[in-house]
Amino acid sequence: MRIKWRLRMAAAQREVWTGTELRRLLADKAGLEMSAASVSALFTKEPTQIKMTTLIALCTALQCTPDDLFEIDTTPVERPAEPPIRPAPTQRQAVNARGRSLPPI
| Model confidence pTM above 0.85 | no
**CA 32 to each of CA 11, 27, 59, 64, 84: distance values in angstroms, whole numbers, following the listed order:** 16, 5, 12, 16, 52
CATH 2.30.29 fits 2-73, yes or no: no
Q: Which pLDDT tens digit goes with each residue over 28-63?
A: 999 999 999 999 888 888 888 889 999 999 999 999
Q: Which pLDDT tens digit goes with each residue over 73-90?
A: 888 878 787 777 777 666
CA angle at 79 for the pair 74 and 85, rounded to the nearest 5°: 150
Question: Residue 6: which of 53, 52, 26, 50 has the closest Cα?
Answer: 50
Q: What is the pLDDT of residue 93?
A: 53
